[in-house]
Amino acid sequence: MKIIYRIWFILFLFWGLVSFAQKKDRILPRANKEYADNKFAEAEADYRISISKFPNKATAPYNLGNSIYRQKQSSEAKYAYVTALKNSKSRAEKHRAFHNLGNVFMNEKDYTQAVEAYKNALRNDPTDEESRYNYALAKKMLKDNPPKDDKKKDDKKDKDKKDDKKDGEKDKKDKEKDNKDDKGDQDKQKKDPKEDDKGEPKPTPGGLSKERLENLLDAVNKEEKKVQDKVNAQKVKGKPVKTEKDW
C-alpha cells in the first residue's frame, strides 16, 4: 500500500509541474526581445497576446505602455499604465507605472495630473531621483501654466465687473430718459387733441369714430389669423413623412 501511495504522490507532483509549465508566459520574453531590438509594433502585438492569456499580471501591461509610448502614442499608453497599476502587487511596480503616467501627462501638458502621478511615484520609491526631478519640474510648469478653468474664472470676474459697471451706467441713463419721457407724457396729456372738454372721444379724420376704427382693426386681425392658420395647415400637409424606425 505504501508503494501505491508513493506512486500517486509522484504522479501528483508530476501533473502539478506540467500544469505549471503550461501556464508559463512564453510570449512575454519574445515581446521583451522585440522591444529591446526597437521593434515596438511587433512588441506591442505580443504584449497584447500576453495580456489576453494572463490578464491579472502587471508586467505585460506596463511593457505594452512603454512600446506604445515609444511609438509616440503617449495618450494611448496611458490606459496600459493604468491597467499595470491595477494589477501591481509591489511598490516597485507601482512606482514605475506612476512615473511613466507622469511622463504621459507632461506630454499632454496636463500638469495637475502630472504632479499627482510623480508624487505617487515618490510615495512608492522616495529614493528615485528622476521621479523627484520630474515632480519638481511638473510643479514649476503647473505654476507657470495654471489650468484654463482658473484663468477663465479670473477673466469672468473681470468681465462681470465691467458688465456691472456698464449696467450701472445704462441704468442711470435709462432712469434719466424715463424721467424725460414722464415729463413729456404729462405735457402731452395736457395738450391731447383726441378728447374734447367733456372727456368724450372726438371723431377721427375721415368721419370714422375711434370705436369704429378699433372694430375694423379687430376684423383685419381676425382675417390675418385665418390666412396664417391656412398657411400653417398647408405646411403640415407638405411635411415629409418619417420612414425610419426608432430603435
Structural domain includes residue 142: no
Q: Render 156-193 in DSSP notation, one character per residue.
A: HHHHHHHHHHHHHHHHHHHHHHHHHHHHHHHHHHHT-T
| pLDDT score at 168 | 63
Q: What is the CATH number of the domain that holds 83?
A: 1.25.40.10
At 112-147, the pLDDT tens digits run: 999 999 999 999 999 999 999 999 999 999 999 998
pLDDT band of residue 148 (cuts 50, 70, 90) is confident
Structural domain includes residue 78: yes
Q: Looking at the predicted structure, is the pLDDT value of residue 196 above 50?
A: no
Give the mean model confidence (pLDDT) for residues 147-172: 64
Structural domain includes residue 11: no
pLDDT band of residue 229 (cuts 50, 70, 90) is confident
Structural domain includes residue 247: no
pTM > 0.75: yes or no = no
Q: Looking at the predicted structure, is the pLDDT value of residue 100 above 90?
A: yes
Name the residue range of residue 45's domain: 18-89
At 210-220, the pLDDT tens digits run: 665 666 666 66
Structural domain includes residue 195: no
Q: Looking at the predicted structure, is the pLDDT value of residue 195 above 50?
A: no
Q: Looking at the predicted structure, is the pLDDT value of residue 38 above 70?
A: yes
The total number of structural domains that make up the chain: 1
Q: Which has the higher per-residue pLDDT, 142 or 235?
A: 142
| pLDDT score at 181 | 58
Nearest C-alpha neighbor of 34 from the set 57, 52, 50: 50
Beta strands (DSSP E) in 13-157 are none
Q: What's the CA gap between 170 and 164, in Å, rounded?
A: 10
CA distances from residue 218 to 99, 205, 227 in whole angstroms, order as listed: 79, 19, 15
Give the mean model confidence (pLDDT) for residues 202-226: 58
Q: Looking at the predicted structure, is the pLDDT value of residue 107 above 90?
A: yes
Structural domain includes residue 212: no
Q: Which has the higher per-residue pLDDT, 227 or 70?
A: 70
Mean pLDDT over all residues of the chain?
75
Q: Write out the three cell numbers for 170.
A: 445704462
pLDDT band of residue 225 (cuts 50, 70, 90) is confident
Q: What's the CA gap between 193 and 206, in Å, rounded?
A: 16
Give the mean model confidence (pLDDT) for residues 81-106: 96
Structural domain includes residue 8: no
Structural domain includes residue 199: no
